[in-house]
Each structure stands twice: as C-alpha cells, then as structure tokens.
Amino acid sequence: MNLTLDIGNTRIKWALFDGPRLADSGVTDAPSLAALARRLSWSRAAVCASGHADLSPLLATGRPVHRLTAASPLPIALDYATPQTLGPDRIAAACGAWALFPGTDCIIIDAGTCITIDHLDATGTYRGGAILPGIEMKFHALHTFTARLPLLEQIDGAASPVTGRTTSESIVAGVLTATRFAVEGFVQHYRSRCATARVLLTGGDAARLTAAGVSALQHAERLPHLVMTGLNNILTELNIQ
C-alpha cells in the first residue's frame, strides 16, 4: 500500500492506494499525523509539502518516505527555468495528469489558496503556467489593504455579476468576474495551441470556482485526488523507495 500526503498550510490531505486503485482518503491536521501514520496500513509514502513541513511522525515508523521535489525521478520532463522553485503540488498534479491521460495535452487548474493553471503537453513535458490569487485571498486583500471595504465571501452557487450596484455587489463582481475572465483566458490561450487539450480541475476551491460561472469549466474533468494520483504514480512506476 502506498500512502500519499499533500501537506498544506492548514490541513493535510491523504490518500491510500492499492496499486493504481484509491483505497481510502481523508483530511487531517499536523497534530494528528502521527496517529494517522500508525493507524493506516502502508509500506511506503510520498509527500508533497511546501515550506518546512515536519515529516518526523512518518519517518518515526521506519518505513520509506519520499519527499517530492523537482530533483525526484519523474515520469514527466520539466521545461521550467527555475525548477528548484517549482511547487511540488504543481509537479504532482502534472504527474497525475500524465498517469491518467498519457499522450494528451492537459490544462491543469488547481483551485486552492492560490489558483494555478499549468500546461502539460502531449509529449509529457511540463511547460509551466500561471499562479493567481485564489478567491478567498482576493476578498481578504480588498478588506485588509483598504480602510472601508468590508470582508465578504462568495455565496456558494451564485455566479458572479459583471456590474455591481452596491459596494458589496461590486466587490463580488470584481473578485469573481476577474477570476472567471482570467481562467477562461488562460484556457483559451492553451487551447489555441491545442484545441483538444483536456481541462482538469482539482483543489479544495474547485466547487466555488465552478459556481463562479467559469464557462471553461463546464466540461472540465473534476479530479479531487489528482495530486495524490501523481504521487502514487511516481512511487509505483519509478519504484521509489
């Protein structure tokens, strides 16, 4: 059994794989990681973590633990000028796309604290992409860096208006419509290079991004475990210990 973990700023997403099959998954936090590592039955682990994540609860089990970096053996090529700065979550998502759709151009949209939009081409080469502020980050920035604008949140299921007629509506219009236009523009850009490119959507804010009315996501493939699938593929196909 392969254990895969995506360690973020506030929570840890994990998935357990039996070969290519997803056997179990969930969400935990750093204080609960040791108990999780003891409770689950796994033989090796792959970790996607930004910053200085504490992996000691995993290492204490004595089982092999691989922390993904751009220097890891990968099933894809990285065409990126500064691979040492490339987020491991972006690498893992691209590897997951290649595992699921080999030989296919993919536009990978990961909606989280930030929104990343990346391009993996049909040769299995990661070509880079874009990093945008996420929906929540935009709302907080408008409130934090101004004197009078209130802190708002997206109403789930509500598409963004283009023209707000109150200050609150204008904030929602600015945040959600700007996000919608940005995502649609990037998808259009990549599809101008490859009209058959698949659009893959993942991340904790995927539902909110769809609710914002992004037309490019109407037929996107929702893959909530794309990062974990990539980590599992790296462990399995390359036999990383």
Q: Is 89 a catalytic residue?
A: yes
- Among the listed residues 6, 29, 54, 89, the single catalytic one is 89
Torsion-angle region of residue 51: left (phi > 0), alpha (psi -120 to 50) or beta? left
Q: Which of 231, 191, 226 is nearest to 111 (CA)?
A: 226
Give catalytic residues, as residue numbers. Answer: 89
